[in-house]
Structure 1
């Protein structure tokens, strides 16, 4: 009989090996993961389009799938073009903003009568602002360059998805095991669909409201900051804070007074607070059942492995781990520790017949 210590040791070795593979194979795995996310969104949108009644009938599956593919492709192309144009312009204007920031440090030092004036290079390396903007522009360029590979993955996933259920069923020796696996997959799909549908809706609202506030005040690059707010809203806790900091810092160096900075920081802060603490929790409910500490640890772990993409995916990945662990007796303690209340749903075979 295998000892508990040996089982724990083997489990730790397996976790370390998987983590190492995720880091080493990042350049190969990430495009496929992004393709899976987009493919999942395409199917969800196609399902929503097909559910729209047209008289007494609905659109066929292949037409709704084609429309969903076109909608997401056109939307992604438009957003990428807008972000690229804004980042290019920001990269050109970055030296001006850096000089303005240095002037502000000089003014603060003179008002405080400091013997050793505060300089930008004391806080940040030389030319850090242009380099940060250039890095952002190169990131968008890299994403655009890998978009063709992602698109090929998506195309093959769409073409072969009709065979997935049949292949999945034949992985198991008995119909009972196949049924249990399909039930677990359905539960994972429900949880992830619930999370992404609500998160996407509130992220779109956050990005749109952020752009409107910045346009009303007159800050440039409103579309870029709206997209950043949309993307960062997927990152738990710290994403909303960063979404407020970026445009607020630009307002300091763009305007000659602090009134626009205060207005932008207050307006964006109220938007993030209202959506993140009032609206989203009511819509999300307790469906995810994840501990706040676990979410932060997951954010740090997946962020260290896959960067921003890992931060965006940390919650759904952790939800998948909880659901899978809850299905096996040996791994149920892990699901209990990761959950918010310690209460996890019983396995279908353990539920009493009704």
Structure 2
């Protein structure tokens, strides 16, 4: 027949079948990986945190190792032990502070339980009396004590996670001296092993710089919010400042939650809408200036991530690992950006993840890192 469709060659049919099979295998592999990420979340979160902290120690060890006591330089082994002790003390101290503040917040929340529903419902008075009463009844029906018990149990798990992270970091220290040998033997090609090592160094340098800038900005923001809460006489001024510091490590959403938190606490405690609005406005300005102006200015070209990509990473890791995943979303995205930049088949993903569509090039990889995390010159070491 003249109008019969052309018959497809057997080779084309085999190619279609192969592509269909490959697609199915990719979907199955992704589902299995996602299942493992969810089921082993506690261990994987602790391991990811330990790796990030261990990457910080490379600059810390080098910094300590460059210090001199008279004519003598501190040995590398002693610098490694000192860095490990500092990390352990910092983790234990931070965990203790957070647990103490969580306990303070929980106790204070219990004292606010009776007046909180009416205070929050009054914020919606502009919707009418019926809507305000409906919101009040809905808030009264919430079992606050069960949520507080859940929060307390999750806070207790922080101690277990801290111990596990310290153990992971300790074992990573033990493997540190053999890393280059293992890398060369694993890759097989000395040139390719050197290239992989440079990619790892690029990841470490970018993540360390991000964490340094984020820590400084978050500390300044937390201190300013503390001063603001103290100026208005809020009971939870210290807790709000510390929680703001922690929440600012969550991109975009963290600052919004911190601003809403101080406004909510102010309204529940003071009950004055005008004062609440003033506190909300001042806190919003602080967050905007520090997070949207100073933060990008200090980050510069060291962290050129797509804003939309950050939101997607935040949503994905938040869904998989919860709140800890939100904290780890940006470091993981930095790692993916650097890796995809230097794998030809994955470079299109790096273009999508980068802000201007200009991911790291091979020429940038060849440029030596001249300064460490502390701004000290390392080219002469």
User: TM-score interval w.r.t. the shorter chain?
Assistant: 0.7 to 0.9
Residue 150 to residue 105, structure 1, CA distance change in 2 (3 Å): closer
1:271 to 278, 283, 286: 286
Conserved in 1, the CA contact under 8 Å of 2:88 and 2:166? no
Secondary structure at 1:340 match in 2: coil
Q: RMSD across aligned C-alpha pairs, in angstroms? A: 3.0
Tell me by how many angstroms 1:275 deviates. 0.8
Residue 211 to residue 114, structure 1, CA distance change in 2 (3 Å): closer
Which is further off, 122-131 or 252-261?
122-131
Aligned partner of 1:309 in structure 2 is: 324
Conserved in 2, the CA contact under 8 Å of 1:82 and 1:223? no
Which is further off, 68-77 or 251-260?
68-77
Residue 126 to residue 66, structure 1, CA distance change in 2 (3 Å): farther
Q: Deviations over 1:231-288 (max 9, x none)?
A: 2111111111001111210111111423542343233222211110111111101322
Higher relative contact order (CA 8 A, sep 6+): 2
Which is further off, 94-103 or 300-309?
94-103
Q: 1: CA distance between counterparts of 2:365 and 2:208?
A: 25
Which is further off, 94-103 or 291-300?
94-103
2:232 to 217, 235, 238: 217
Tell me by how many angstroms 1:296 deviates. 0.7
Tell me by how many angstroms 1:18 deviates. 2.0
**Structure 2: any 5+ residue segments left out of the alignment?**
1-13, 367-381
Conserved in 2, the CA contact under 8 Å of 1:191 and 1:287? yes
Residue 86 to residue 289, structure 1, CA distance change in 2 (3 Å): closer
Aligned partner of 1:134 in structure 2 is: 149
Residue 123 to residue 330, structure 1, CA distance change in 2 (3 Å): same
2:104 to 78, 89, 107: 89
Q: 2: CA distance between counterparts of 1:134 and 1:350?
A: 50
**Structure 1: any 5+ residue segments left out of the alignment?**
none
Conserved in 2, the CA contact under 8 Å of 1:233 and 1:240? yes
Aligned partner of 2:260 in structure 1 is: 245
Q: Deviations over 1:67-96 (max 9, x none)?
A: 333333333333333332332233233233
Tell me by how many angstroms 1:215 deviates. 2.4
Aligned partner of 1:338 in structure 2 is: 353
Tell me by how many angstroms 1:218 deviates. 2.0
- Are 2:92 and 1:80 equivalent residues in the alignment? no
Aligned partner of 1:158 in structure 2 is: 173
Conserved in 2, the CA contact under 8 Å of 1:210 and 1:229? yes
Equivalent runs, 1:319-330 vs 2, <5 Å: 319-330=334-345
Q: 2: CA distance between counterparts of 1:184 and 1:74?
A: 30
TM-score, normalization: structure 1?
Answer: 0.86
